């Protein structure tokens, strides 16, 4: 027969409670221990990051920009008058001279206006010639009248002198002498009036001729203008070069000033580079440049820096001083490197993924045996395309990670595998 044992169940319960409490205490202690430990440093493959060593020596400050090759000598051929495109004589790619006709326009109204202007000029010139003849005839007639009156006046003066001598001898009376002298005086006054009439006639004739000549000159200017307008129907190149494009088609109506074609000299090219606004502040005319044409690198010199910023970039013109590689053409995409300054003794390193000139950035410096890297605060100086000056935070010989380290922002130390 079984004998009941007292206190066994209660003992078991106490034992279980003690085990649970011990486990809880251990768990809490373990949690506190884990919380008190620093987070483990993340591991990074050495081959996945870009490393560079801090150096001291000459540092070239340069900026880079992409662009295109464009002709130095370019002429936009515009319409000098309105008309309809009748013929295209010079297609793109054709070599032309200044007087080469690129295309011909048609404008019948303009041709008719030129004809009318020529007829008006011819009529005015004929009228001027006729009026000149008439005025010359009138002057000649007045001179003839004056000559006749002067002859009569001289004869009357001689008669008066003779009558005075005869009167002194008592042959004729006083009344006859006075009549002779009055006749001579009257003819002298008449001759003077005829001379004045001749002078006035010459002045009037000259004034009329000036007015007629001015009218003829005005009509001649109109005719010459109409001739020039008609001559503009033949659109000429205006410079020696190659036709780059013809922007109109046969039958198209154009207005004065419309762009018809573009002519350029392809043997003289320059590079138009677009430099980021933040990097363009130190670019000046005369600085040295290197332009990569994808078929060779040529030297150049900055000749123009556009004052305005467009779409966040500044346009810089570089005149190429070296002979261009074979096959180089206009509108070819190129890349240019502009030399801004040379620092003779500068502490510098490769340019990190983040950080601009004059800023403070965090970099990871390789420490110890090279198995780990620690975060350091670095002040950057002047920046170039691929390098940046170090002002504070690093020393010559230090090796740093230049790759993007934003994934490790919460860590001051990383392990390198």
- Rounded Cα distance, 184 and 178, in Å: 10
Q: In the beta sheet, which residues pair with residue 110?
A: none
34: Cβ contacts below 8 Å, ≥ 6 apart: none
What are the φ/ψ torsions at residue 149 (nearest 5 degrees)? -65, -40
Strand 43-44 and strand 413-416: the pairing is parallel
Digit-by-digit pLDDT tens for the chain (417 residues) are: 444 455 555 666 666 666 666 666 666 666 555 544 445 667 777 878 888 889 998 888 888 889 999 898 889 999 989 999 999 999 998 999 999 999 999 999 999 999 999 999 999 999 889 888 888 888 888 888 888 888 888 887 887 777 777 777 777 777 877 777 787 788 888 888 888 888 888 888 888 889 889 999 999 999 999 999 999 999 999 999 999 899 999 999 999 999 999 999 888 889 999 988 878 888 889 888 999 988 889 999 999 999 888 888 999 999 998 888 887 888 889 999 888 888 888 888 888 887 777 888 888 888 877 788 888 889 988 888 788 888 888 888 888 888 888 888 878 888 887
**What pLDDT is attached to residue 18?**
65
266: Cβ contacts below 8 Å, ≥ 6 apart: 71, 241, 242, 329, 330
**What pLDDT is attached to residue 11?**
63
**What pLDDT is attached to residue 19?**
66
- Rounded Cα distance, 328 and 341, in Å: 29
Cα Rg of the chain, angstroms: 53
300: Cβ contacts below 8 Å, ≥ 6 apart: 270, 271, 288, 289, 290, 291, 318, 319, 320, 321, 322, 336
- Rounded Cα distance, 94 and 102, in Å: 10
């Amino acid at each position: 027969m079984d004998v009941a044992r007292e206190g066994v169940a209660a003992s078991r319960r106490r034992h279980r409670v003690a085990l649970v409490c011990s486990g809880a205490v251990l768990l809490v202690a373990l949690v506190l221990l884990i919380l008190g430990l620093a987070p483990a440093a993340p591991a990074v493959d050495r081959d996945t990051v870009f490393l560079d060593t801090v150096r001291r020596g000459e540092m070239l400050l340069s900026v880079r920009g992409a662009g295109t090759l464009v002709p130095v000598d370019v002429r936009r051929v515009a319409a000098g008058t309105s008309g309809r495109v009748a013929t295209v004589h010079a297609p793109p790619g054709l070599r032309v001279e200044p007087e080469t006709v690129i295309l011909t326009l048609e404008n019948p109204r303009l041709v008719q206006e030129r004809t009318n202007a020529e007829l008006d000029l011819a009529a005015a010139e004929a009228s001027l010639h006729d009026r000149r003849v008439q005025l010359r005839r009138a002057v000649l007639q007045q001179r003839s009248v004056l000559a006749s009156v002067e002859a009569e006046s001289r004869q009357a003066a001689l008669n008066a002198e003779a009558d005075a001598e005869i009167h002194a001898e008592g042959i004729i009376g006083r009344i006859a002498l006075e009549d002779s002298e009055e006749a001579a005086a009257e003819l002298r006054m008449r001759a003077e009036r005829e001379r004045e009439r001749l002078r006035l006639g010459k002045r009037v004739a000259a004034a009329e001729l000036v007015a007629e000549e001015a009218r003829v000159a005005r009509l001649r200017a109109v005719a010459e203008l109409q001739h020039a307008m008609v001559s503009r129907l033949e659109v000429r190149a205006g410079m020696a070069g190659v036709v780059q494009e013809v922007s109109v088609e046969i039958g198209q109506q154009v207005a004065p000033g419309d762009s018809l074609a573009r002519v350029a000299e392809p043997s003289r090219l320059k590079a138009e580079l677009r430099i980021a606004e933040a990097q363009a502040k130190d670019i000046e005319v005369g600085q040295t440049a290197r332009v990569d044409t994808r078929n060779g690198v040529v030297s150049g010199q900055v000749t123009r820096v556009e004052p305005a910023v467009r779409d966040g970039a500044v346009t810089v013109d570089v005149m190429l001083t070296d002979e261009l590689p074979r096959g180089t053409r206009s509108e070819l995409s190129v890349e240019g490197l502009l030399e801004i300054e040379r620092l003779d003794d500068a502490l510098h390193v490769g340019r990190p993924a983040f950080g601009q000139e004059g800023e403070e950035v965090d970099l990871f410096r390789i420490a110890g045996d090279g198995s780990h890297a620690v975060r350091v605060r670095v002040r950057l100086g002047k920046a170039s395309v691929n390098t940046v000056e170090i002002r504070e935070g690093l020393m010559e010989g230090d090796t740093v990670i230049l790759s993007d380290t934003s994934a490790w922002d919460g860590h001051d130390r990383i392990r390198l595998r």
